[in-house]
Structure 1
Amino acid sequence: MSTNDPEWNGLMEAWQEETAAEATPAALSEEARRRIRSRVRRETAGLFALAIGEAVMALGLLAWLLLDALDLRRPADAAVLAGIVILFAVTFYYSFWNRRGTWRPVAESTTTFVDLSIERCRRKLRTLPFCYRLLGAELALLVPWAVHSLLSRPEAPPLAKWLQLLGMIVLIPACVLLWATWYKRKTLREMAEWEELRRSLE
């Protein structure tokens, strides 16, 4: 659920105003229920698109590594390629395992749609610890390989190459941590909204 969607924000604000004015949560109108179902269907389509995008990105990265970055005649490059393939396999397995049961609603009811959205938020939050571990594994694999590649050159690598390596070690984790902080807050906010809607359906 995007907090930048004016239509959705308007729906939430109107419903919350009605709820605040009553002793019990205001019942959702048929229009609100229709919008909820429509929103969840769009999120379902986005989930399938995300899975396809992940596969395309992984294949693109592998193609770039094979065609431009790695020389498989060198044992170190062959080893790092094997490590990357293993990381991809683990990532795809976890990704699809974590999304099991959330691809689409099991029934055409508003309650089911809201419950599905809450569960999707929980799965998103569960992804974050895995992302941290994956980042650590990637750095543990790529940093030694990059250092070895620089030191094994016939000529001493220029300072710019070492600065690029340092940037990779520092900037990538920093960007991931910033993204994870934003993503966690966004997901918690979404889940709170869905849970508030869920209580109104009881």
Structure 2
Amino acid sequence: MSNRKTGHPIGGHGENDGLQALADIWQQTPVAVPVPEVIRARIRQQERRMRVFAVLEWAGSIAVGIGGVYLMMNSGMRDAPWRALLVLVLLTLAMAFSVSNRQGVWDPLEESIRGYLDLARLRLVRKRRMLRFAWLLFVAELGIFAVWQWLSQFGWLEPIFVGDGKSAISWILIFALGMATWSVWYWWRIKSCEQQIAEWQNDSFEVQKNKL
């Protein structure tokens, strides 16, 4: 039986979102109160934002893919087909992860406070997963560039970095710094959402206690 069928939040044991202990208690306590409008509105707002980001992500990936392949194939380089293939492979990998990471994060399993909060927790797990994947992909790309540059010494491929490579390294460091800044901000947003979920859950406990 899957985690979703049992009502437990989805995510590996290593993807604890900081609310697991509270969530375990929550799963054992049925809540028969109506879903507060503030929770429903927040979840729907997140859904609209996610759909916009998904559309922009796909549109940007298609543009980068078509533009990248076109520039590579018209660059006149001997290894242009390999460079174009590399662009397509990396984009395909990124978009495959994007699709799989968004599965099951659109609607709650049940029309209850528990269903909405489980969905909110699942979205935080997927956001963490996306953040890790972005860094893994970045590191993998750096590794590919390094191997490519090494193979160019044998004449099999043309070098990616020309000259001493200082300019390319500078751009990579700037990109890494920007990505690190974004990651810190994104992680702060995740922690802020965790606190909001905890507040909603505690408020719901109080409402249920008053009804007993």
Distance in 2 (alpha carbons) for counterparts of 1:111 and 1:150: 53
- Contact 1:118 1:195 (C-alpha < 8 Å) held by counterparts: no
Equivalent in the alignment of 2:199: 196
Partner residue of 2:50 out of 39, 44, 47: 47
- Contact 1:98 1:123 (C-alpha < 8 Å) held by counterparts: yes
The one-character-per-residue Cα deviations of 1:120-178 (angstroms, maximum 9, x if unpaired) are 11211122221111011223345646981564xxxxx7x9xx55413222111111112
- Contact 1:71 1:78 (C-alpha < 8 Å) held by counterparts: no
- Contact 1:72 1:78 (C-alpha < 8 Å) held by counterparts: no
Aligned residues: 165
Equivalent in the alignment of 1:175: 178
Give SS of 2:74's match. Answer: coil
Please say if 1:148 is aligned against 2:192: no
Partner residue of 1:115 out of 112, 115, 118: 118
Partner residue of 1:97 out of 84, 93, 100: 100
- Contact 2:68 2:87 (C-alpha < 8 Å) held by counterparts: no
- Structure 1: any 5+ residue segments left out of the alignment? 1-28, 152-156
Any runs of at least 4 consecutive aligned residues in structure 1 with deviations exceeding 4 A, and if so which? 142-147
The one-character-per-residue Cα deviations of 1:51-83 (angstroms, maximum 9, x if unpaired) are 111110011112222344553653422212211
Distance in 2 (alpha carbons) for counterparts of 1:82 and 1:66: 8
Q: CA RMSD in A?
A: 2.8
One-letter amino acid of the counterpart of residue 175, structure 1: G
Distance in 2 (alpha carbons) for counterparts of 1:74 and 1:125: 39
The one-character-per-residue Cα deviations of 1:69-124 (angstroms, maximum 9, x if unpaired) are 55365342221221121111111122222222112223333332222112111211
> Which runs of structure 2 are paired with 1:3-14 in the superposition (5 Å)?
none
- Contact 1:37 1:113 (C-alpha < 8 Å) held by counterparts: yes
Partner residue of 2:132 out of 108, 129, 133: 129
Give SS of 2:159's match. Answer: helix
Please say if 1:62 is aligned against 2:74: no
- Contact 1:115 1:198 (C-alpha < 8 Å) held by counterparts: no
- Contact 2:73 2:80 (C-alpha < 8 Å) held by counterparts: yes
| Identical amino acids, percent of aligned pairs | 19
